[in-house]
Structure 1
């Protein structure tokens, strides 16, 4: 079996030894000494739903929790059972300020519209941050968290756990070692949404359970977003004021190998080329988004396509293999790669004859010790702050790209994108979706 792969460019790969010896990033701010040694004291913003996994991950890493919050007191159980002496809150703004001497890091798992306000408050207090995907709710917010990470020299990690998987590493190694040749197109698709889309904003509120602080849940969103049983706790993703739709939910997973391997920089344009009905400005059931990326560092320009809600690329791109329900395809002039699932699962070079010819790539990327463990090691100073693979230096521009697709959903035609000035240059209406108005005096300051 031959393996005709060019030597790998080390660009953008995690190389801890280089980071340490070269001083690429300083170690995180020294933690307040903990009475139990080098254990991370973590405050949880969210304890129910997906946040319950954060609670379990923190406990599994031996972290200490002195305080946690969730707008729904009935969801405190997982944290309360693990840390019975910890103090619970329903408003993270109050918790982050009052308890600032009792935690070193914050773990955020809330509806998307709360990611940025919670993260930026914590970072301004000098706290390390682990935040669920999408990193933020808007393009502008994503830019700010990248700035904050560099400004405050903090350990960070976005919760796109597939970034630590083997499959994504294999795809990056194949692509950057030249197995595909020149790539002209990348296609990513997901079986989401698995929640209701499109949705209309509720016109009449249901009775609010006494355990829920709905005003805090609404937070920076308009107060016209009324409580509706079922929207909370899971079916909020289809609402523009709370979520980021299928692209925001899964793009940070499914598009990860693309952004890592191609190192594309910002797109020059984005366009929604197909979408189903939108109601009250909320997300459609299905869409197709196209982005154009320029030539860069010897790599030719290429097009990227995103599909959701049952839309998929041309089946012929599978080169004899059936397209999975969720996956991605890189189209090169020598061969292609297809993976199944949202996390870089089971990648294969196609056609199969090329897979047999090329074989596995040279192993050049450090394998992960675990997505959450990476964050804990960096936050406790055992590794540099850029050790987590999806630290905000990577996750910020990645999330900007993902969320720019949502801007295109609200507009007609191709949008020309000026990344340096974070602005659409040919459609003034589009720029109001690059960020948003913050309501109810909810703080969301710049970095």
Structure 2
């Protein structure tokens, strides 16, 4: 089998040739011709990883799958009988990296960066579930490596491919509600989805089908308990990113796209309190963004765990308890996807998506990058959300210097910004 460099060079060359043929009006060669068929691997194949792996395989061949849960791995191998199975992604990439063109990463949050970084440093294109990473430094580094390696990347916030989201974003940019001053975004998570504000569970025997050491990955060792796998990890500081990580990369994406909400100046949180183990049951987080060349300063207020914005902000309307978004301008409001209270639609043009995964495939084949690529979109969006978690942790206003990747007014947060991996895992090399 070709080595990775030769194969990827060939794929890029055929993609460029396909582009030339398209502009010349000549017929394109079939994308799934034997020499041009993409070879995928998937890291994490349960839950969202099940659909991510299947979506990728629609565009090529799944040659390797990895999951620390042997039951989930067995189910994936039934669907991909020609793939090789692994419980450790490092072994998979070491043994098969030369025959993998692209990988999906759908693990708990704390393993997003190490798995993605190892693959990308081998020249493998990468799709990673949201949030892109668990910490700010990881998000910045993942974007840098993707850019340096000139790879096709995408984060799994599917709404970025939605025409409705893109139209609303361009309405904000185009002045449909005038000058935007405030954003209010709310969700009912985590309450009712996974537990938060709790103590560590008591130690229990590790299930025979679970490789607990591999599940812990980069995190410090701790005994297994009923409260981590398969889904409850989201509420733990060491493994997840709480409601911000779970849903904000979806619902904040529209104003992020429309208003270019990068590099917030500060964040402050009002919470139900936390114990340093799990996130609080609920929080309200206020972000401040400075002006940019085409808009003024903007305040974004995030509500989770069932907390809601006052209905007076919505013109007396009741906020939907499951979640929603409100943009307030000096000419009206945008409530979810509806222009109200004097706001008027404006004619906008925006790029239409061929489909969320299809954007990534297009980029792999030499086309334009996916909207939610790592360096230009997913990384900066994830950094914003994770600053909110720093405010939750401290209980104080966090003043942020994005250029230096540092909190300017509080000491002792370095390991929350840049984690230390335990032996056997690599961050910076």
Q: TM above 0.5, one fold?
A: yes
Query: Is this contact kept in 1: 2:49–2:106, CA < 8 A?
Result: yes
CA-CA distance at 1:98 after TM superposition: 0.9
Matched, 1:133 2:130: yes
Matched, 1:377 2:362: yes
Per-residue CA deviations over 1:81-135 (Å, capped at 9, x if unaligned) read: 2321211000001101210122100100000000000000011000100000000
Q: CA RMSD in A?
A: 1.7
Match of 1:228 among 225, 230, 233: 225
Equivalent in the alignment of 1:286: 282
CA-CA distance at 1:234 after TM superposition: 0.8
Equivalent in the alignment of 2:293: 297
Equivalent in the alignment of 2:184: 187
Distance 2:140 2:400 in 1: 14
Distance 1:90 1:99 in 2: 14
Query: Is this contact kept in 2: 1:40–1:380, CA < 8 A?
Result: no
Distance 2:408 2:10 in 1: 43
Query: Is this contact kept in 2: 1:149–1:155, CA < 8 A?
Result: yes
Moved over 3 A (4+): 28-35
Distance 1:400 1:58 in 2: 26
My pick for the range that moved more, 207-216 or 154-163, is 207-216
Give the number of equivalent residue pairs: 400
Equivalent in the alignment of 1:198: 197
Q: Secondary structure at the match of 1:43?
A: strand
Q: Which runs of 5+ in 1 are unaligned?
A: 1-27, 340-346
Matched, 1:391 2:376: no
Query: Is this contact kept in 2: 1:44–1:68, CA < 8 A?
Result: yes
Q: Aligned in 2, Cα 1:98/1:184: closer, same or farther, shift over 3 Å?
A: same
Q: Which has the higher contact order (CA 8 A, sep 6+)?
A: 1
Q: Which runs of 5+ in 2 are unaligned?
A: 1-7, 15-31
Equivalent in the alignment of 2:385: 402
Match of 1:415 among 398, 401, 406: 398
CA-CA distance at 1:44 after TM superposition: 0.3
CA-CA distance at 1:201 after TM superposition: 1.7
Distance 1:281 1:77 in 2: 32
Matched, 1:117 2:102: no
Query: Is this contact kept in 2: 1:29–1:153, CA < 8 A?
Result: no
Q: Secondary structure at the match of 1:85?
A: coil
Q: Secondary structure at the match of 2:372?
A: coil
The structure richer in helix per residue is 2
Equivalent in the alignment of 2:3: none
Equivalent in the alignment of 2:161: 164
Equivalent in the alignment of 2:99: 102
Equivalent in the alignment of 2:339: 349
CA-CA distance at 1:30 after TM superposition: 4.7
Query: Is this contact kept in 2: 1:38–1:380, CA < 8 A?
Result: no
Equivalent in the alignment of 1:311: 307
Equivalent in the alignment of 2:29: none
Equivalent in the alignment of 1:333: 330
Q: Aligned in 2, Cα 1:377/1:298: closer, same or farther, shift over 3 Å?
A: closer
Equivalent in the alignment of 1:39: 37
Task: Trace 1:48-87 onto structure 2 (pairs within 5 A).
Answer: 48-59=46-57, 61-87=58-84
Distance 2:373 2:388 in 1: 22
Matched, 1:365 2:362: no
Query: Is this contact kept in 2: 1:271–1:291, CA < 8 A?
Result: yes
Per-residue CA deviations over 1:139-168 (Å, capped at 9, x if unaligned) read: 000001111121110000000001111221
Equivalent in the alignment of 1:89: 86
CA-CA distance at 1:78 after TM superposition: 4.2
